Amino acid sequence: MKMRKQKIITKAVLLVSFVSLFTDIASEMLYPVMPIYLKSIGFSVMLIGILEGLAEATAGFSKGYFGNLSDKLGARTPFIRTGYFLSAISKPLMALFVFPLWIFFIRTLDRFGKGIRTSARDALLSDETTPEHKGKVFGFHRSMDTVGAAIGPILALTFLYFLPGQYKWLFIFTIVPGIIAVSLTFLIKDKKKIPTPDSKKSIGFFSYLNYWKISSLGYKNLIVGLLAFTLFNSSDAFLLLLLKFRGFSDLQVIGFYIFYNIAYAFLSYPIGFLADKTGMKKILIAGLILFSFVYFFMGFANTLWQFGILFIFYSVYAAATEGISKAWISNICKKEETATAIGFYNSLSSIMALIASSLAGLIWYVFTPKIMFVSSGIAVMMVVIYFSCIKIGRQTQ
């Protein structure tokens, strides 16, 4: 009897990927103009920093809790739908009122939506495939997600070209891709799963932290390395700020951002395929080496062609780490604990990223951008050495 070939990109994977694509279109339409809009309605730089810090902290902590809850209930789609819905409605709502408390509430609601959906979504992607295809599936999702990140700024530039300064209408326009994304979530179906015996028991908001005690040594080794890297990996906004610092125009800065996202989207699936063939560890280490190289030489770059080459390498790094890290985590944890395992990492990673960006901003301000980038590049080489020495162990699924 002829064996039926396994379908790698299933209907659910395709739907989740398109949901992410349209959501990222909406998010990235606002990314270049968010600071400008907030300043135009009276927010100081310090207040913007507090706003973003609070929003990211909310997203970080909630990723762990809702990932744990997703595993306990044996369900993914309710969290995916609710999370994407909250993010879809929050963006246009920012344009309705300009009161600081309202802006704080709505921006936090947006990131809360991300916290609700992220771990359950990643677990659903893991549920849809087998360990030997995780790199491809997570790579495909990252590719589609990043296509949206490239389309968003292009739409924003086009919109503002014809309607300069109409930031409120740009915020309102994001409801269109948002509605499409939310509508697609209703086509995603949960696989039949049995809730855990204690699913009816209430769980504390930070109860997901207990997962560390029961997780495998391989999981602990992997998470320590990933979090150490995150501590030295500041926001991509610093790359754009560096371009401005070097004298590039706003159009050139946004152009670099679009170029990076297009390259990242193009590379994610092939690199995911390669990770399945050669091993997650090799690809992740290669990605970290590229990050170290890029950040070190970013401190010395000045010309257009130099930044162009570095951004190409940076897109390879992103494709070799972002989806690969989650695919690797899902391969070394029990299937019924996938959302909790990924949620634990997502939660602490968000907090580490907040610390990383705060430290980067401090080093930039006290010293120079060059020292900030060079020091990060050197520090990440220590993480490369760590990953080269540790053993993660075989997958448990």
Per-residue pLDDT of the chain (397 residues; tens, 9 = 90+): 444 456 788 899 999 999 999 999 998 888 767 766 777 777 765 566 667 667 777 788 888 888 888 888 888 999 999 999 999 999 888 888 777 788 888 888 888 898 899 989 989 998 888 888 888 998 999 999 989 988 998 898 888 888 887 888 888 999 999 999 999 999 998 876 656 555 556 676 677 878 888 888 888 999 999 999 998 988 787 888 788 888 888 778 888 888 888 999 999 999 999 998 988 899 999 999 999 999 999 989 898 899 999 999 999 999 999 889 988 888 888 888 888 888 888 888 888 888 888 888 888 888 888 998 999 999 999 999 999 988 776 554 4
DSSP 34-100: HHHHHHHTT--HHHHHHHHHHHHHHHHHHHHHHHHHHHHHT-SHHHHHHHHHHHHHHHHHTTT---H
Contact 10, 119 (CB under 8 A): no
Any idea which residue has 């790698």 for tokens? 8
Contact 298, 242 (CB under 8 A): yes
Q: What is the pLDDT of residue 3?
A: 42
Q: What is the pLDDT of residue 85?
A: 95
CB atoms within 10 A of CB 49: 14
Q: What is the pLDDT of residue 397?
A: 42
Under the phi-then-psi rule, with left for phi > 0, alpha for psi from -120 to 50, and beta for the rest, what region is 284?
alpha
Contact 60, 347 (CB under 8 A): yes
Convert 197-222 to b/e letters by CB count within 10 Å (16 or more is b): eeeeeeeeeebbeebeeebbebbebb
Q: What is the pLDDT of residue 84?
A: 94
Contact 364, 265 (CB under 8 A): no
Domain spans of the chain, in order of start:
11-190+211-389
Distance from C-alpha of 170 to C-alpha of 3, rounded to nearest angstrom: 51
Q: What is the pLDDT of residue 73?
A: 87
Closest CA to 347 of 24, 56, 41, 53: 56
pTM (2 d.p.): 0.85
CB atoms within 10 A of CB 54: 15
11-190+211-389 falls under which CATH superfamily? Answer: MFS general substrate transporter like domains (1.20.1250.20)
Joined tokens for residue 4 = 């039926």
Distance from C-alpha of 107 to C-alpha of 213, rounded to nearest angstrom: 34
Closest CA to 118 of 152, 151, 86, 89: 86
CB atoms within 10 A of CB 236: 15
Q: What is the pLDDT of residue 74?
A: 86
DSSP 228-289: HHHHT---THHHHHHHHHTT--HHHHHHHHHHHHHHHHHHHHHHHHHHHHH-HHHHHHHHHH
Distance from C-alpha of 377 to C-alpha of 369, rounded to nearest angstrom: 12
Distance from C-alpha of 384 to C-alpha of 393, rounded to nearest angstrom: 18
Contact 184, 305 (CB under 8 A): no
Residue 333 exposed, middle or buried by CB count within 10 Å (0-12, 13-18, 19+): buried
